[in-house]
Amino acid sequence: MSEAERPQIYLVTPPAFDLEVFPARLAGVLDAVEVACVRLALASRDEDNVARAADALREVAHARDVALVIEQHALLVERLGLDGVHLTDGARNIRKLRKDLGEDAIIGAFCGTTRHEGMAAAEAGADYAAFGPVGETPLGDGSRAELDLFQWWSEMIEIPIVAEGALTTALVEKLGPYTDFFGVGEEIWKTEDAAAGLQALLAPLG
């Protein structure tokens, strides 16, 4: 697979992490593997917690020319100097946020497992559509974003597509020719050496 065809890496933070430890872990991964974007995906609703985490990770990411987007909290994007927002409810709110945040902001949408939701997000002006889970997970209703969705999208739709959720090396090999990004999170953060975990996961890409 040539460099031009190789999917880029989109790192997703854990839903909770230790601010004393995680920024250095993230820096280690960014220094070891080329990453296009980091998503701050905290479960916390505490604005102070989210802001402190965003400040710490922005410093790490921007020092390495890596974009940092935040999940859901669109109102914090400009205030915290972030690069954009990742929405978890498909196409809803994309048009309004594009107006509010401007053309340069990254606005992405998680579209589950349906092509319809992805097309709606693309038409509304999203910069990318994320689909998943692509692997087996006990969470949710058991539905998965299948290979044919990625094959169809790569032929028919221009905006980039992200494959995420319960990735394995076998799935990376299978989806590699059809996705623009792999969204990688818990798969590597639960390993002791996250950078080595990411390199192992991506091994099929060569």
Of the candidates 97, 79, 101, 102, the one whose C-alpha atom is nearest the C-alpha of residue 87 is 97
Model confidence over 82-115: pLDDT tens digits? Answer: 999 999 998 999 999 999 999 999 999 999 999 9
CA 97, CA 125: separation in Å to the nearest integer? 10
pLDDT at 139: 76
pLDDT at 3: 60
Is residue 169, in this structure, part of any structural domain at all?
Answer: yes
> In one letter, which amino acid is 134?
V
pLDDT at 15: 97
Is residue 2, in this structure, part of any structural domain at all?
Answer: no
Model confidence over 172-203: pLDDT tens digits? Answer: 999 999 999 999 999 999 999 999 999 999 99
Is residue 175, in this structure, part of any structural domain at all?
Answer: yes
The total of structural domains in the chain comes to: 1
C-alpha dist (Å) from residue 27 to 30, 60, 136, 194: 5, 6, 29, 10
pLDDT band at 1 (very low <50, low <70, confident <90, very high): low
Model confidence over 116-174: pLDDT tens digits? Answer: 999 999 999 999 999 999 999 887 788 999 999 999 999 999 999 999 999 999 999 99
> For residue 16, is pLDDT > 90?
yes
* Average pLDDT estimate for 65-71: 98
pLDDT at 179: 98
* Average pLDDT estimate for 63-88: 97
* Average pLDDT estimate for 3-29: 94
Of the candidates 108, 116, 82, the one whose C-alpha atom is nearest the C-alpha of residue 183 is 108
Is the peptide bond between 204 and the residue preceding it cis, with omega within 30 degrees of 0?
no
With contact defined as beta carbons under 8 Å apart, do 70 and 39 qualify?
yes
Is residue 194, in this structure, part of any structural domain at all?
Answer: yes
Backbone angles phi, psi at 107, to 5 degrees: -125, 115
CA 173, CA 188: separation in Å to the nearest integer? 17
Is residue 1, in this structure, part of any structural domain at all?
Answer: no
Token pair listed for 2: 């040539």
> For residue 4, is pLDDT > 70?
no
Give the gyration radius of the chain's Cα atoms: 16
CATH number (domain holding residue 47) = 3.20.20.70
Residue 41 lies in domain: 8-205
pLDDT at 195: 98
* Average pLDDT estimate for 64-68: 98
Is residue 3, in this structure, part of any structural domain at all?
Answer: no
Is residue 140, in this structure, part of any structural domain at all?
Answer: yes
pLDDT at 145: 97
